[in-house]
Amino acid sequence: MLASPSSFKRINSLRQLLGVLGDRGERKSSLSVVAGIEDDDTAANDDDDDDPPFTPWAVSVASGHALLRSPQHNKGLAFTEKERDAHYLRGLLPPAVINQELQERRTLHILRQYQVPLHRYIAMMDLQESNEKLFYKLLIDNVEELLPVVYTPTVGEACQKYSGIYRRPQGLYISLKDKGKILEVLRNWPEKNIQVIVVTDGERILGLGDLGCQGMGIPVGKLSLYTALGGVRPSVCLPVTIDVGTKNEALLKDEFYIGLKQKRATGEEYNELLEEFMTAVKRNYGEKVLIQFEDFANHNAFELLTKYRTSHLVFNDDIQGTACVVLGGVLSALKLIGGTLADHTFLFLGAGEAGTGIAELISLEILKKTKLTLEESRKKIWLVDSKGLIVRSRKESLQHFKQPWAHDHAPVKGLLEAVKAIKPTILIGTSGVGKQFTKEVIEAMVSINAKPLIMALSNPTSQSECTAEEAYTWSQGHAIFASGSPFDPVIYDGQEFVPGQANNAYIFPGFGLGLIMCGAIRVHDEFLLVAAEALASQVTEEEYAKGIIYPPFKKIRKISAIIAAKVASRAYELGLASHLPRPRDLVKFAESCMYSPTYRNYR
Ligand SMILES: O=C([O-])CC(=O)C(=O)O
Ligand SMILES: [Mg+2]
């Protein structure tokens, strides 16, 4: 039976009244009762044979064939005999009834037979589009195996080939053609209650350059992680790609390219479209919707963050998320390499969003923990860009985000020369260009330090500044190593070395959950510091004993809950949280808000 218009009105006003947080949250929505086909996942509702509580609103939103075609509600062969009778499914499915656990094993078995990573990616996207709960159950239960499939590095290849593998729209496309109509475009999206938007303009997809409209794979992938790793409900997530054209000549010549075939717009035209988008988002979803900027090119990334951080709830994952995960890794690594943060000397290869973002957050943490001034703490950090070491004599010609790092020093050309001149204890690669940490660079680091910390952060794997194997072999097992893209453990000299994955996926899902659950209205730098410290605190002594500086991804939901709690707690302290009263136990509250992918019973 379809909901009558008046029932819909009641459903909508209930949504507005309750806000949608999560499944077991104190602010739990009672939509399950309203919608009949249940929209949330309380264990209490899972007992099949109990009669549903009486409610005058009980309606079914889909049945029969439409139910099987609804990714949010479809359970495939897991529909029971009773459900098949009750929801007009008889004959529409083969007779076997297969529960979710067996479906999960079956899907994993099939996935493992695909040798080509992109085929696994396509199979996972198909699953997400046909059976959302099974997709998330599989991803959550097998996160270490499947993260590289739906996310970095495979998502990079998927974006490069996106026009070829495109099947269905997985997010909202907003192009220059939609100028003046963005509010209408937002209203075309089927979900009305949106809490997180990940938006890209495709200009700098990972380290792969301008992929234009094909960048859509990134917001889709990031938001899958919001749900799988941070427990944010899929229905409140909105992936957006803003298409203002592309500089990528190959795409412009490709007859199958799905984007606007024109030169990338810049300046006024670009700013106006972005301004319209930001205004429309706030108007349509309110102040508390989180907008995560992803994979914008440097100039726009910094400008957008500066422009909107005082008027919107915005977060740039490449500047702030990456900074947070790296600061977390460095704080954690201090247990292995010794000293305090302020005792170290940092050298970065790359002075873009990630490099300067990390540098700034490290200096803020030094400022917080010592008596040094911001200026003094920044002096511990040196950056190398394509023209060599950033030094004071270059200051006038530098982009504004590089200027704080222009310290007094004679000009130095290449990275190796900079390592020899600066003698860093920590080397961080954020250049987006692979193979820059050569044998000579790593050897120079080892000649200066007993245990150099080396972080090769550029993504995907092809752009990594060096591989895990190179780092361990060239340093003869002395390096503590982490990378942005995943690498397998390495055996060197009979010993196993486990590289860390310094990827912002450790941070943004929990960070976003924290902002949403407390109703934050702005992102404060303090939130980034507490999130980094929370991540570092999750590494155990046993992990340190093995040289590990990041906790394993299999613990990520717990880690995300802890990060969310720290962020929310700081937001309450700073008066930036609007959901009152403050829950007493924020970790428990965060966990109670998390989406569960277990199938519901449809009575
Ligand atoms: O997506 C990732 O793996 C990390 C990231 O934000 C980037 O490299 O731009
Ligand atoms: Mg990114």
pLDDT at 57 over 50: no
**Which of 151, 308, 506, 572 is the catalytic position?**
151
- Confidence bin at 62 (pLDDT 50/70/90): confident
* Residue 316 one-letter amino acid: N
Residue range 400-419: average pLDDT?
Answer: 97
* Residues composing the chain: 603
Assess whether 492 carries a catalytic annotation: no
Q: Tell me which H or E stretch contains 307.
A: helix 298-308
Q: Tell me which H or E stretch contains 454.
A: strand 453-456
pLDDT digits (tens, 9 = 90+) for 453-511: 999 999 999 999 999 999 999 999 999 999 999 999 999 999 999 999 999 999 999 99
Assess whether 162 carries a catalytic annotation: no
**Which of 75, 137, 222, 380 is the catalytic position?**
222
Residue range 73-80: average pLDDT?
Answer: 97
Tokens 């486990």 belong to which residue? 498
Sign of the torsion angle spanned by Cα atoms 30, 32, 36, 39: positive
**Cα–Cα distance for residue pair 184/182, rounded to 1 Å:** 5
pLDDT digits (tens, 9 = 90+) for 286-340: 999 999 999 999 999 999 999 999 999 999 999 999 999 999 999 999 999 999 9
pLDDT value of residue 61:
60
pLDDT at 571 over 80: yes
Spacing, Cα 465 to ligand 1 middle (Å):
14
For the Cβ of 591 lying below 6 angstroms from any atom of ligand 1, the answer is no
**Cα–Cα distance for residue pair 364/378, rounded to 1 Å:** 9
For 225-377, strand residue ranges (E) read 237-243, 290-293, 313-316, 346-349
pLDDT at 360 over 80: yes
For the Cβ of 205 lying below 6 angstroms from any atom of ligand 1, the answer is no
Residue range 253-278: average pLDDT?
Answer: 98
For the Cβ of 483 lying below 6 angstroms from any atom of ligand 1, the answer is no
pLDDT above 70 covers a percentage of the chain that reads 90
Spacing, Cα 318 to ligand 1 middle (Å):
7
Distances (CA, A) of 22 to 40, 42, 488, 574, 590: 8, 10, 35, 24, 9
DSSP letters, 333-368, are HHHHH-S-GGG--EEEE--SHHHHHHHHHHHHHHHH
Residue range 233-253: average pLDDT?
Answer: 98
pLDDT value of residue 10:
37
ipTM of the shown complex: 0.99
pLDDT digits (tens, 9 = 90+) for 197-228: 999 999 999 999 999 999 999 999 999 999 99
The 3-state DSSP class for residue 184 equals helix
For the Cβ of 431 lying below 6 angstroms from any atom of ligand 1, the answer is no
- Confidence bin at 15 (pLDDT 50/70/90): very low
Ligand 1 pocket test target in 218, 503, 511 with most atoms within 8 Å of CB: 503
Parallel/antiparallel/unpaired status of strands 388-389 and 381-385: antiparallel
For the Cβ of 152 lying below 6 angstroms from any atom of ligand 1, the answer is yes
**Cα–Cα distance for residue pair 37/602, rounded to 1 Å:** 6
Q: Which two tokens stand for residue 76?
A: 């495939």
* Average pLDDT for the chain: 91
Ligand 1 pocket test target in 220, 293, 295, 358 with most atoms within 8 Å of CB: 295
pLDDT value of residue 603:
76
pLDDT digits (tens, 9 = 90+) for 102-122: 999 999 999 999 999 999 999
pLDDT value of residue 88:
96
**Cα–Cα distance for residue pair 39/52, rounded to 1 Å:** 14
- Fill in the DSSP letter of residue 180: T
pLDDT value of residue 36:
34
Do 149 and 124 meet the contact criterion of CB atoms below 8 Å apart?
yes
| Minimum CA distance residue for ligand 1 atom 7 | 206
Torsions phi, psi for 107 (to 5 deg): -65, -40
For the Cβ of 318 lying below 6 angstroms from any atom of ligand 1, the answer is yes
pLDDT value of residue 22:
40
Ligand 1 pocket test target in 121, 149, 151, 152 with most atoms within 8 Å of CB: 152
pLDDT digits (tens, 9 = 90+) for 117-152: 999 999 999 999 999 999 999 999 999 999 999 999
pLDDT digits (tens, 9 = 90+) for 187-204: 999 999 999 999 999 999
Closest ligand 1 atom to 318 CA = 6
